[in-house]
Chains A and B, each alone.
Chain A
Amino acid sequence: MNVPEIFDTMDYGPAPESAAEALAWLVDGGSRYGLFIDGAMTEPGDQFASKNPATGEVLATLTQATQEDVDAAVAAARKAQPKWAKLPGHARAKYLYALARLVQKHSRLLAVLESLDNGKPIRESRDIDVPLVARHFYYHAGMAQLMEAELPDREALGVCGQIVPWNFPLLMLAWKIAPALAMGNTVVLKPAEYTSMTALLFADLCREAGLPKGVVNIVTGDGHVGEMIVRHEGLDKIAFTGSTAVGRFIREATAGNGQSLTLELGGKSPYVVFDDADLDSAIEGLVDAIWFNQGQVCCAGSRLLVQEGVAERFHEKLKRRMDGLRVGDPLDKCIDVGAMVDPVQRDRVVRLLDGSAGEVYHAATPLPEQGCYYPPTLVTGLAPSDALMQEEIFGPVLVSTTFRTPAEAVELANDSRYGLAASVWSENVNLALDVAPKLAAGVIWVNGTNMFDAAAGFGGVRESGFGREGGWEGLLAYTRPKGARKPLKRLEPVAAPAEPKVDGLDRTAKLYIGGKQARPDGGYSQAVWSAKGELLGHVSRANRKDVRNAVEAARGAAGWGRTTGHLRAQILYYLGENLSARAGEFADRLRHLTGAPAKAAAEEVEQSVSRLFTWAAWADKYDGAAKGVPLRGIALAMNEPVGIVGAFCANEAPLLGLVSVLGPALAMGNRLVAVASEPYPLAATDFYQLLETSDVPGGVANILTGKHEELAPHLAGHLGVDAVWSFSSSDLSGLIERESAGNLKRTWVNNGRARDWAGAEGEGRAFLAAATEVKTIWVPYGE
């Protein structure tokens, strides 16, 4: 077209970003890449092709790492780690600062290479991905600087295996590497096989930053290499971002090996539009929610819930907006939607939509004839039960349904196994701020979408994974408390004596479920003997149905999470008061159960009273935070209850062990299913009398007795339980972690290590963190 013709049509033309520099970098690298191990690139090994999805052209060939390569990378990281961790925080800060600056200095090269490799529009890699990468290194340079002063009781985990996905190759690398390095860890990172190029360019930056050898190691290859990392015995932590299916596999594969694990998985994030929203802005938000990165975003607002009265108008406006989206060459600066990462992914989307029950609308916008493209798509008229409403599509496809009331919006939004992110659109601050905390998700955007910042925690609940990335909360995933723990000895119940001594009236301890004493479903009981051979009573032997009943009761007590901290504090104080009033009786019980001297038994009771006071104190003091994000608005980090917590109490501290899990769980608004000390259960069954008389609502705290090993699979495997803790001296850690994979519930297990229940280890921040989920609520504002 010539100028006069364009003048008449006012069409957009091509506006290509040059790929010359990035292609030159590939040529300089020989277009064949090895691995980055111990500060140097290895000789290329078995090669696979890395393609540009927009054209199908091969960008370079990369090495499929072998077991020996992974071993070498882990060994290099291991060798480098102690020295790296011993560096003053300021020294690590200088390296991270250098990386931040280098990312900025090479920003366009990184952006172009990312778009070439991944297919995302250059606007996104240039204006979003790369600036966020630099921001992440800056932020964590600061964390390295502050670690000694602000986290004096924590230390590096050691060597971290990190596996990142192909949708944000460099950004996810930054999210993984920056906090790990800041806290003194070294890493072995595997980029996704589709998109390894910017990780290899990052290896160059590590060398330019003068990073000590072995601190960062990058191995490339397919899922087999990922599996080698997951199964490697030389790693202290696995951090994974990717699909829920692979996350579940990793949870099972690493169960019981004592590693730290964080998983950032899939989502089906709701995008809720109320009838009083600025509809045009909500539509523009959807463009950034579901057509950002071709919808290949774990937190994509992929499930539109729009209030019925405005739904028709909203869909009309949305379709018109979709028609205006420009799909094409990712390196074109005038493109909204680029290429999907690989034909495999596109074909998957095609299959998912095949024969959909809904009304499918493809944007009336031209698609390039060649390359891996899929049009922006809206599917309306779906019921919540439709697979498209439930399953992650991971492509530019939005599904939609309607709701009538705010309560129904919340119900629909939460009707999902996932819980990564959610958006709420309303001009009514009362409505928006009421709904945001009710949504089951780790990140909520009010009148916005896909906002990210290094200072604000990101991560999910439910099957979207666990752990947070970003902010102070993100550092928990890369540090542990200082100091070593002693092994915990298995503690067996006192065996039935040859000559039983039976005095007084028969005593029957029951289970405590839903605020009522309950007989065990199975009808089995167990005698409990004192060290001197006296029969102390009988306890119920709970089975899987009792677990079911207890969880059911806990589910019914959901209102506890909405009570005020002040109310929960009063109830916990009252529990302490009532325990104190019966201190002598409890001390006698402990003395008989464990054979402890009278003084020690009395101390355990006194410590239990004190512990209840500690958690009563915390109930209204575990403040959230307002994060300093670069936005006119606030990002609130709110500490929310995890939900239903199952806990296997310490065997060795029959009362204090129970109180030490009940306190934090209840204080933070969780409901608890506690399994009492297996050998000494009667302190817990006495304790339920206190629960009955201290205004603890039924179902909030449930107490089971029985064999830990019998109950653990049922509690850890229950899909309605949100977290399981184990302090049992029975060997449950691996079993619980493995069983938890079903719904990817959070686990906190002792790995066979002892805890000093009477000391500082018996309470404090670790319990607070385990009893809460950080929900980040972004509230941009302005009038």
Chain B
Amino acid sequence: MTHADTRPETAAGAGDDRGTAQLPQVHAARNPGQELDLDWVLSARANTSAIERRAATLPGRRSVKKDHQAAWLLKAITLIDLTTLSGDDTAGRVRRLCAKARQPVRADILDALKMRPITTGAVCVYHEMVPPAVAALEGSGIPVAAVSTGFPAGLSPLETRLREIELSVAAGAREIDIVISRRHVLTGNWQALYDEMRQFRAACGEAHVKAILATGELGTLRNVARASLVCMMGGADFIKTSTGKESVNATLPVSLVMIRALRDYHDRTGYRIGYKPAGGISKAKDALTYLTLIRDELGPRWLQPDLFRFGASSLLGDIERQLEHHVTGRYSAGYRHPMA
């Protein structure tokens, strides 16, 4: 077993997980993946009932109030992959979204909080929208993420799925959100899942790859745990719950299973994998619950954009209203905040 003292870390000063000063620009060493270790995969357990109890009691165990709440909500914004994945997306629509990503919170609110400018973690779009997004975000440092590999079902030919990754990377996407073949999980074909992940990772090149497990379609939490491990062994930089298109998207129990898997992966290999819950997280309170979950299970190091993202479209609006409430003491209205 590898312990924290031997883990790879590219930047100095990113010491203890429980330490205080984590700089956002610190990036963990990239997970190279490893051989498929089926003993490990098959030993993964997930007791659904116990996991649900932990998830159900978590919101009652943690509470952040006043300035802490405001700071945590600002942090949440910096962790959002601001997303549009609609059939009617246009270049204009995506430019608006990118503008919002550059300036997600009204300047007067930031001023009142004495907060420096912040941006969202990334903008997430379909392949065709990558070029306008890249153009709109130029100079901002905000990466463009492209959903890929026959999103959301992942059932197009492997060749075209791999080609789609290459094209998106070539178009300037720095992050690729791939979808796994759920059938490999449901039939227990872990080797096929691993091989697929390996190929996706290779196709991404320098771009970071987020593996979408579509947990709502995997049947059991044990499958979620095993698929998480296989994707990390296959070289995933992030594991992500959902496309947002399944009937059940990100949930706290699923999140608990996935982050416990990536904690084990870190313990054994020394590599930190990122986590991205997506779909259904639309309230500021939900976002705070997720952040407490990550903080308690993984430590504050994971609360940085290189290791945690929310896949969300409407979450930002609710956070903006909460921040204004914090500043003014009055409950806010949606139209007081610029839309994307």
Q: A-side interface residues toward B, CB under 8 Å?
A: 1-15, 123, 126-127, 276-282, 284-285, 313, 316, 323-324, 333-334, 336, 425, 427, 447-448, 632-633, 780-783
Q: Known contacts A10-B72, A447-B49, A633-B49; decide if A3 and B115 are in contact (CB<8 Å).
A: yes
**Interface presence of B63 (CB below 8 A):** yes
A281 to B50, CA, bound (A): 6
Minimal beta-carbon separation of B289 from chain A (angstroms) = 12
Instruction: Type the 1/0 row for B160-190, where 1 means its CB is closer than 8 Å to any CB of A.
Output: 0000000000000000000000000000000
A8 to B300, CA, bound (A): 10
Cross-chain contact B303 with A284 (CB below 8 angstroms): no
Cross-chain contact B50 with A780 (CB below 8 angstroms): yes
Instruction: Type the 1/0 row for B282-294, where 1 means its CB is closer than 8 Å to any CB of A.
Output: 0000000001000
A783 to B253, CA, bound (A): 12
A464 to B22, CA, bound (A): 50
Cross-chain contact B1 with A313 (CB below 8 angstroms): yes
A-B contact pairs, 21 of them (CB 8 A): A4-B114, A8-B20, A9-B21, A10-B71, A12-B64, A13-B64, A15-B68, A127-B57, A277-B47, A278-B46, A279-B45, A280-B260, A281-B51, A284-B50, A285-B50, A316-B1, A333-B63, A334-B62, A447-B50, A633-B49, A780-B53
Cross-chain contact B47 with A281 (CB below 8 angstroms): yes
Q: B-side interface residues toward A, CB under 8 Å?
A: 1, 18, 20-23, 45-54, 57, 60-68, 70-72, 74-75, 113-116, 220-222, 260, 291, 295-296, 300, 303
Q: Known contacts A3-B113, A13-B64; decide if A284 and B220 are in contact (CB<8 Å).
A: no
A13 to B114, CA, bound (A): 18
Contacts of A126 in B (CB 8 A): 60
Contact partner of A15 (CB less than 8 A), chosen from B20, B23, B64, is B64
Contact partner of B115 (CB less than 8 A), chosen from A4, A278, A425, is A4
Contacts of B61 in A (CB 8 A): 123, 334, 336
Minimal beta-carbon separation of A545 from chain B (angstroms) = 51
Cross-chain contact B49 with A782 (CB below 8 angstroms): yes
Contacts of B300 in A (CB 8 A): 9-10
Cross-chain contact B67 with A448 (CB below 8 angstroms): no
Cross-chain contact A8 with B22 (CB below 8 angstroms): yes
Contacts of B66 in A (CB 8 A): 13
Minimal beta-carbon separation of B214 from chain A (angstroms) = 18
Contacts of B114 in A (CB 8 A): 2-4
A163 to B291, CA, bound (A): 44
Cross-chain contact B65 with A427 (CB below 8 angstroms): no
Contact partner of B68 (CB less than 8 A), chosen from A12, A278, A279, A448, is A12
A10 to B114, CA, bound (A): 16
Contacts of A324 in B (CB 8 A): 296
Indicate the member of A14, A284, A632 with the most B CB atoms within 10 Å: A284
A447 to B46, CA, bound (A): 11
Contacts of A280 in B (CB 8 A): 260
Contacts of B296 in A (CB 8 A): 324
Contact partner of A12 (CB less than 8 A), chosen from B60, B62, B115, B116, is B62
A13 to B62, CA, bound (A): 10
A333 to B62, CA, bound (A): 6
Contacts of A447 in B (CB 8 A): 47, 49-50
Contacts of B65 in A (CB 8 A): 13-15
A323 to B295, CA, bound (A): 12
Indicate the member of A15, A280, A333, A447 with the most B CB atoms within 10 Å: A280
A285 to B47, CA, bound (A): 11
Contacts of A782 in B (CB 8 A): 48-49, 52
A316 to B1, CA, bound (A): 11
A783 to B303, CA, bound (A): 30
Cross-chain contact B72 with A6 (CB below 8 angstroms): yes
Contact partner of B71 (CB less than 8 A), chosen from A3, A14, A279, A284, is A3
A666 to B161, CA, bound (A): 71
Contacts of B62 in A (CB 8 A): 12, 333-334
Contacts of B64 in A (CB 8 A): 12-13, 15, 334
Contacts of B46 in A (CB 8 A): 278, 281
Residue of A nearest to B65 (CB): A15
A-B residue pairs, 3 tightest by C-beta:
A13-B68, A6-B71, A281-B50
Cross-chain contact B303 with A10 (CB below 8 angstroms): yes
Say whether chain B's binding surface is mostly helix, strand, loop, or mixed: helix
Cross-chain contact A8 with B21 (CB below 8 angstroms): yes
Contacts of A9 in B (CB 8 A): 20-22, 300
Contact partner of B70 (CB less than 8 A), chosen from A3, A10, A783, is A3
Cross-chain contact A783 with B48 (CB below 8 angstroms): yes
Q: Known contacts A9-B21, A276-B45; decide if A281 and B54 are in contact (CB<8 Å).
A: yes
Indicate the member of B49, B72, B291 with the most A CB atoms within 10 Å: B49
Cross-chain contact B63 with A10 (CB below 8 angstroms): no
A781 to B295, CA, bound (A): 28
A653 to B70, CA, bound (A): 81
A324 to B72, CA, bound (A): 18
Q: Known contacts A280-B260, A284-B54; decide if A11 and B20 are in contact (CB<8 Å).
A: yes
A14 to B49, CA, bound (A): 31
Contacts of B303 in A (CB 8 A): 10
A384 to B49, CA, bound (A): 31
Cross-chain contact B45 with A278 (CB below 8 angstroms): yes
Q: Known contacts A3-B114, A333-B63, A427-B45; decide if A10 and B50 are in contact (CB<8 Å).
A: no
Contacts of B18 in A (CB 8 A): 323
Given contact pairs A278-B51, A281-B54, a sample of 15 additional A-B residue pairs in the complex whose CB atoms are under 8 Å apart: A3-B70, A3-B113, A7-B74, A9-B20, A10-B22, A11-B20, A12-B68, A14-B65, A15-B68, A278-B50, A284-B50, A447-B50, A633-B49, A780-B49, A783-B222
Minimal beta-carbon separation of B319 from chain A (angstroms) = 13
Contact partner of A123 (CB less than 8 A), chosen from B45, B60, B260, is B60
A161 to B199, CA, bound (A): 74
Residue of A nearest to B51 (CB): A281
Indicate the member of B47, B53, B75 with the most A CB atoms within 10 Å: B47
Cross-chain contact A2 with B67 (CB below 8 angstroms): yes
Q: Known contacts A278-B47, A281-B54, A632-B49; decide if A10 and B21 are in contact (CB<8 Å).
A: no
Residue of B nearest to A631 (CB): B49
Contacts of A780 in B (CB 8 A): 49-50, 53
Cross-chain contact A15 with B50 (CB below 8 angstroms): no
A447 to B64, CA, bound (A): 30
Residue of B nearest to A275 (CB): B43
Indicate the member of A2, A780, A783 with the most B CB atoms within 10 Å: A783
Q: Known contacts A13-B66, A334-B64; decide if A3 and B74 are in contact (CB<8 Å).
A: yes
Minimal beta-carbon separation of A780 from chain B (angstroms) = 4
Cross-chain contact B53 with A448 (CB below 8 angstroms): yes
Residue of B nearest to A17 (CB): B63
A278 to B48, CA, bound (A): 10
Residue of A nearest to B50 (CB): A281
Contacts of B53 in A (CB 8 A): 284, 448, 780
Contact partner of A427 (CB less than 8 A), chosen from B22, B47, B113, is B47
Contacts of A279 in B (CB 8 A): 45
Minimal beta-carbon separation of A107 from chain B (angstroms) = 14
Contacts of A5 in B (CB 8 A): 71
Contacts of B52 in A (CB 8 A): 782
A222 to B18, CA, bound (A): 45
A378 to B21, CA, bound (A): 29
A280 to B116, CA, bound (A): 38
A11 to B221, CA, bound (A): 30
Minimal beta-carbon separation of B307 from chain A (angstroms) = 12
Indicate the member of A2, A313, A782 with the most B CB atoms within 10 Å: A782
Cross-chain contact B67 with A13 (CB below 8 angstroms): yes
Residue of A nearest to B57 (CB): A127
Contacts of A282 in B (CB 8 A): 50
Contacts of A448 in B (CB 8 A): 49-50, 53
Residue of A nearest to B259 (CB): A280
Cross-chain contact A6 with B68 (CB below 8 angstroms): yes
Contacts of A323 in B (CB 8 A): 18
Residue of A nearest to B302 (CB): A10
Indicate the member of B23, B62, B116, B222 with the most A CB atoms within 10 Å: B62
Q: Known contacts A6-B68, A9-B20, A284-B54; decide if A783 and B45 are in contact (CB<8 Å).
A: no
